[in-house]
Structure 1
Amino acid sequence: MDKKWAYLLSRLAIDLSFFGHGLVRLPKLDGFSKWMTGQFSKSFLPDVLVLPFSYALPILEFAAGLMIVIGLFTKQGLLLAGLVTLALIFGTTMIENWDALPSQLIHIAFLSVLLAYLPHNSYAVDKILKK
């Protein structure tokens, strides 16, 4: 398979996860925030950190997903998605939600490979703008 098409498929696969997570959470932002703060109520993380993150998370997921799906500022979108995932990994370990950790590690692996092979990102707005 052409490396450019393989890159596109991988980019879209990881994108659907971020874009989808953000998209479904945005309309129910208050409910999501209450759920998330509830999850962290027994952790040592203070509400002053958890509450703003619970509101920012869906917006950041959606923004990263949007950047990745159209291939505009792809590198920055992948880095944003990576930082969000690292924050999620930290939170996951703080509440000992070990079942969620493998999925987050897979996301980091995908994002790392996409960043390493960024020159193959040919089917993207970034490429059009560089011409």
Structure 2
Amino acid sequence: MNDISYLMLRLVAGISFFGHGLVRLPKLNAFSQWMTGSFSKSMLPQSLVTPFSYALPVAEFTIGILLILGIFSPKVIIAGWVVMLLLMFGTCLIENWEALPSQMIHAIILVALYQFIAANSISLDQFFKK
């Protein structure tokens, strides 16, 4: 039963990351312009925001696919958690308090996935162990 629950939670996180990346990749330039505009009055220099705005959708898409498939799970979960920390930091800098709870929920789900990684039995990680 724990393996099914773990799969369900992993898929929730995976679909969210995947969906965020999927919709942003085709409009990468517009997304980057929106993000740099959002951070224009923050203390972060544009020289940091611009590369992050291009890397974020790629990271989200990749993390999402890997979570859905359940491959390289421990490393992917940590990568997703780091992305969430960076997003939370940026969200605080621009005082977008409405976005913070969603980001915190994502981070907590990733912590739970990492904590109970032994239940990750329905995954490509397990398939490749054989």
| Bucket of the pairwise TM-score, normalised by the shorter protein | over 0.9
For 1:1-131, list aligned pairs within 5 A: 2-131=1-130
Distance in 1, matches of 2:82 and 2:61, equals 14
Distance in 2, matches of 1:108 and 1:58, equals 17
Q: Which amino acid aligns with 1:57?
A: L
Q: Which amino acid aligns with 2:98?
A: D
Distance in 2, matches of 1:21 and 1:74, equals 19
* CA positional deviation for 1:24: 0.5
Distance in 2, matches of 1:87 and 1:118, equals 23
* CA positional deviation for 1:11: 0.3
Q: Which amino acid aligns with 1:87?
A: L
* CA positional deviation for 1:55: 0.2
SS in 2 for 1:45: coil
* CA positional deviation for 1:75: 1.1
* CA positional deviation for 1:130: 0.8
* CA positional deviation for 1:57: 0.2
Q: Which 4+ residue blocks in structure 1 deviate beyond 3 angstroms?
A: none
* CA positional deviation for 1:77: 1.2
Distance in 1, matches of 2:72 and 2:29, equals 29
Determine what percentage of the aligned residue pairs are the same residue: 52
Q: Which amino acid aligns with 1:128?
A: F
Q: Which amino acid aligns with 1:39?
A: S
SS in 2 for 1:123: coil
* CA positional deviation for 1:88: 0.1
